[in-house]
A and B are shown apart, each in its own frame.
Chain A
Amino acid sequence: MQATSDEALIGRIAAGDKLAMHLLFARHHVRVYRFVLRLVRDESLAEDLISDVFLDVWRQASRFERRSSVGTWLLAIGRHKALSALRKRPGQTLDEERTAAIEDPADDPEIAVQKKDKSEILRKCLNGLSAEHREIIDLVYYHERSVDEVAGIVGIPANTVKTRMFYARKRLSELLKAAGLDRGWP
């Protein structure tokens, strides 16, 4: 049996079919939630934002133009909602990094590496990146978006997407080095 395509569900949602809305929500809400949560770092806010994302889908389904996949469209709406929510919170910016969470002043780098395994340090450093860098790494690695899809979601040219990803990875290497893990790159 073949599952109903996302595009077909959007067509049914445009006609007011609530069951189709349930299906689309069940299919995508966890990924959209994780994407938004990584940006806003607040579970309760992320939950509110994903219901807002799907409410937008309910209201605007008839305007979906199929220029991108439904998954990409949902991430783009989620990103817009997350950034709007962040702007309303004073003192929080996209460039903010959490380096303090990565460095452990009690240990020198060698001891830190012995204490923690490499993948744990890597995950900690991924978490310590700025929202702008976290976002692009998540979109490419976890949400499996192509260069053009990331460009559409973030609203930047394709070449800038590649450059930004490169520099996000470069920054990750710097954080890893600071945490005692020199990868020999860049």
Chain B
Amino acid sequence: MQTDTKRRVFLKGSVASGAVAAAVGAGLLTPQMVLAEWNKAAFESKTVEDAAKNLLGLEGAAEESGDITIKAPDIAENGAVVPVTVDVNMDGVETIAFIARENPSPLVAAFHMGDGGVPFARTNIKMGKTSDVIAMVTAGGKTFMAKKEVKVTIGGCGG
């Protein structure tokens, strides 16, 4: 049952266009690993609420959860490179989204769990100014969240 859900997450939506098609053509992604198309609406959303709705189908608030741990600096000296780690102590995690509330486009990254994927992710993000870093997690058809404020002394969005 879990496998079917994950397959639906991966295959929903058109996969015919853009960079994914180029990669398939180049033999870099075999058909079984073709992904759902990059979610332009979510990544171009200007508010946290729109991003969550477009990426995760969330209507209303996500439940705050102590099972989601966000590791990020209290103060980021360089807003261009802010390390963020999210670790989730839950079963059945499908997606982990990294969101910076005050960024022009708050949704920065989404990690999708495949077969055997462990709900953990780390990357470095750009932050324009002091903001909550929000992790939104879907598990078992529900969306949870946690947040941590990161103070930024020099903004890193370059805009």
A and B interact? no
